[in-house]
Chain A
Amino acid sequence: MFQFIFRRLSLVIPTFIGITLLTFTLIRLIPGDPIEVMAGERGVSAERHAELSAQLGFDQPLYVQYYHYVTGVLQGDLGNSLITREPVMKEFLTLFPATIELAFCAAIFAILIGLPAGIFAAVKRGTVIDHSVMTFSLTGYSMPIFWWALLLMLVFSVNLGWTPVSGRIDVVYWIDDVTGFMLIDSILSGEEGAFASAVSHLILPSIVLGTIPMAVIARMTRSSMLEVLSEDYIRTARAKGIAPWRVIVIHALRNALIPVITVIGLQVGILLSGAILTETVFAWPGIGKWLIESIGRRDYPVVQGGILIVACIIIVVNLLVDITYGIVNPRIRHSR
Chain B
Amino acid sequence: MTTSTKTSTTDIPLTAPVPMTPLQEFWHYFSSNKGAVAGLVVIAIICFMAVFANFVAPHSPSDQYRDALLLPPAWLEGGNWSFVLGTDDVGRDILSRLIYGSRLSIAVGIVAVTASLVMGILLGLIAGYFKGIIDTAIMRIVDIMLAMPSLLLAIAIVAILGPSIVNAALAISIVSLPHYVRLTRAATMAEMSRDYVTSSRVIGASPLRLMFICILPNCLAPLIVQATLGFSSAILDMAALGFLGLGAQPPTPEWGSMLADALQFVQRAWWVVTFPGLMILITVLAFNLMGDGLRDALDPKLKQ
Report the nearest B residue to A311, measured CB to CB.
B148
Residues in B with CB closer than 8 Å to A277 are 151, 240, 243-244
Given contacts A26-B156, A150-B259, are A139 and B147 in contact (CB under 8 A)?
no
**Cβ-defined partner of B147 (8 Å) among A26, A30, A295, A315:** A315
Residues in B with CB closer than 8 Å to A320 are none
- What DSSP secondary structure best describes chain A's contact surface? helix
A142 to B228, CA, bound (A): 13
How many residue pairs link A and B with beta carbons under 8 A? The number is: 125
Given contacts A150-B259, A273-B152, are A158 and B277 in contact (CB under 8 A)?
no
Q: Type the 1/0 row for B125-169, where 1 means its CB is closer than 8 Å to any CB of A.
A: 000000000000000110110011111100110111010000000
A278 to B140, CA, bound (A): 31
A67 to B222, CA, bound (A): 42
**Cβ-defined partner of B244 (8 Å) among A14, A151, A292:** A292
Q: Type the 1/0 row for B270-304, where 1 means its CB is closer than 8 Å to any CB of A.
A: 10011011101100110011001000000000001
Stretch at the interface among A15-23, A77-85, A105-113, A235-243: A15-23
A223 to B273, CA, bound (A): 35
A272 to B276, CA, bound (A): 25
CB distance from A316 to the nearest CB of B (A): 10
Q: Is the CB of A272 within 8 A of B144?
A: no
Residues in A with CB closer than 8 Å to B240 are 144, 146, 277
A274 to B266, CA, bound (A): 21
Please tell me the number of chain A residues within 8 Å of chain B, measured between CB atoms.
Answer: 47
Residues in A with CB closer than 8 Å to B263 are 150, 281
**Cβ-defined partner of B152 (8 Å) among A139, A223, A272:** A272
Asked whether B267 is an interface residue with its Cβ less than 8 Å from the other chain, the reply is yes
A319 to B218, CA, bound (A): 34
Q: Type the 1/0 row for A279-303, where 1 means its CB is closer than 8 Å to any CB of B.
A: 0110000000001100110000001
A296 to B159, CA, bound (A): 9
CB distance from B244 to the nearest CB of A (A): 6
Residues in B with CB closer than 8 Å to A281 are 263
Asked whether A173 is an interface residue with its Cβ less than 8 Å from the other chain, the reply is no
Q: Is the CB of B148 within 8 A of A314?
A: yes
Report the nearest A residue to B143, measured CB to CB.
A15
Q: Type the 1/0 row for A117-146, where 1 means its CB is closer than 8 Å to any CB of B.
A: 000000000000000000000110111101
Asked whether B79 is an interface residue with its Cβ less than 8 Å from the other chain, the reply is no
Given contacts A142-B284, A146-B259, A276-B244, are A307 and B270 in contact (CB under 8 A)?
no
**Cβ-defined partner of A147 (8 Å) among B140, B150, B244, B280:** B280
Q: Is the CB of B244 within 8 A of A154?
A: no
Q: Is the CB of B280 within 8 A of A144?
A: yes
CB distance from B294 to the nearest CB of A (A): 14
Asked whether B239 is an interface residue with its Cβ less than 8 Å from the other chain, the reply is yes
Given contacts A19-B144, A143-B281, are A273 and B288 in contact (CB under 8 A)?
no
A141 to B291, CA, bound (A): 13
Q: Is the CB of A314 within 8 A of B280?
A: no
Asked whether A269 is an interface residue with its Cβ less than 8 Å from the other chain, the reply is yes
Q: Is the CB of B288 within 8 A of A150?
A: no
**Cβ-defined partner of B285 (8 Å) among A11, A22, A138, A314:** A138
Given contacts A291-B155, A303-B159, A307-B156, are A18 and B141 in contact (CB under 8 A)?
yes
Residues in A with CB closer than 8 Å to B156 are 22-23, 26, 303, 307
Q: Is the CB of A154 within 8 A of B149?
A: no
Residues in A with CB closer than 8 Å to B280 are 144, 147
Asked whether A52 is an interface residue with its Cβ less than 8 Å from the other chain, the reply is no
Question: With A19-B147, A150-B259 given, can you name 10 additional A-B contacts, CB distance below 8 Å?
Answer: A15-B144, A18-B141, A144-B239, A147-B273, A148-B277, A150-B277, A276-B155, A291-B155, A303-B156, A314-B149
28 contacts between A and B (CB under 8 A): A14-B143, A14-B144, A15-B140, A23-B156, A138-B285, A138-B289, A142-B232, A146-B256, A146-B259, A147-B273, A147-B280, A158-B266, A269-B149, A270-B149, A272-B149, A272-B152, A273-B149, A273-B150, A273-B152, A276-B155, A281-B263, A295-B158, A303-B156, A303-B159, A307-B148, A311-B148, A311-B152, A318-B147
